[in-house]
């Protein structure tokens, strides 16, 4: 029986951490313990892709995996291994459940490696209810983070207007914040202009 590992993380910063290695090792270990062949001929990775709005299931590697199932490139009854359900989606429960069921409806067994739970087209309704609770909790976590981030951004914008200061000192390399305003770095700006002129 074949198994495929789906790896996803949201932030580019996580690429420098342990996320990919950890998820890969969990998949390898599960296959060894359960007599599965881990197919690595194609990598199903959405690295630095958020699943909060379900984009990975619409145009990412997860979407490509589902299309490969429809095209008969993924054998029926194969396993899809994920660290946890929030790797698949962090969308609100209606959309999350749709993505979850899209996988099962293709006769794929979905395994969450952190708790060794299996979901397939024969799962009983209590398994689906449990999955739905986990999926909704993942959305709530992301929603809370998003709301806090937006509030912090709004506060920075408000302070910038009130104090007549920039929201951030980070700017393009040919600019610098000096004497209360952004100013051109003449040499660097000339280089950028030259690049455009040469390209044109």
Q: Rounded to an integer, what distance in angstroms lies between the CA atom of residue 166 and that of residue 159? A: 9
C-beta of residue 76 within 8 angstroms of C-beta of residue 107: yes
Mean pLDDT per 10-residue segment, the chain (200 residues): 93 68 94 96 89 86 96 97 95 93 97 96 95 93 85 85 82 87 90 94
- Res 81: pLDDT: 98
What's residue 13's pLDDT? 63
pLDDT of residue 69: 97
Q: Which of 66, 54, 63, 65 is nearest to 10 (CA)?
A: 54
Does the annotation mark 10 as catalytic? yes
Q: What is the pLDDT of residue 24?
A: 93
Annotated catalytic residue: which of 10, 78, 138, 142? 10
Position 15 scores a pLDDT of 56
CA distance 95 to 136: 10
Burial class (CB in 10 A: 0-12, 13-18, 19+), 101: middle
């Amino acid at each position: 029986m074949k198994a495929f590992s789906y790896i996803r993380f949201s932030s580019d910063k996580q690429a420098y951490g342990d996320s990919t290695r950890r998820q890969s090792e969990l998949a390898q270990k599960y296959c060894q313990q359960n007599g599965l062949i881990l197919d690595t001929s194609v990598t199903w990775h959405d690295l630095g892709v958020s699943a909060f709005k379900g984009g990975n299931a619409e145009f990412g590697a997860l979407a490509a995996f589902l299309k490969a199932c429809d095209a008969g490139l993924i054998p029926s009854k194969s396993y899809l291994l994920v660290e946890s359900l929030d790797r698949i989606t962090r969308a609100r429960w209606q959309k999350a459940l749709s993505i979850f069921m899209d996988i099962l409806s293709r006769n794929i067994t979905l395994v969450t490696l952190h708790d060794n739970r299996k979901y397939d087209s024969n799962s009983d309704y209590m398994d689906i209810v449990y999955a739905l609770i986990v999926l909704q909790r993942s959305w709530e976590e992301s929603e809370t983070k998003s709301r806090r981030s937006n509030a912090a951004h709004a506060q920075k914008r408000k302070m910038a207007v009130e104090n007549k200061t920039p929201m951030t000192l980070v700017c393009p390399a040919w600019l610098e914040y000096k004497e209360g305003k952004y100013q051109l770095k003449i040499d660097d700006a000339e280089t950028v202009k030259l690049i455009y002129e040469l390209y044109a």
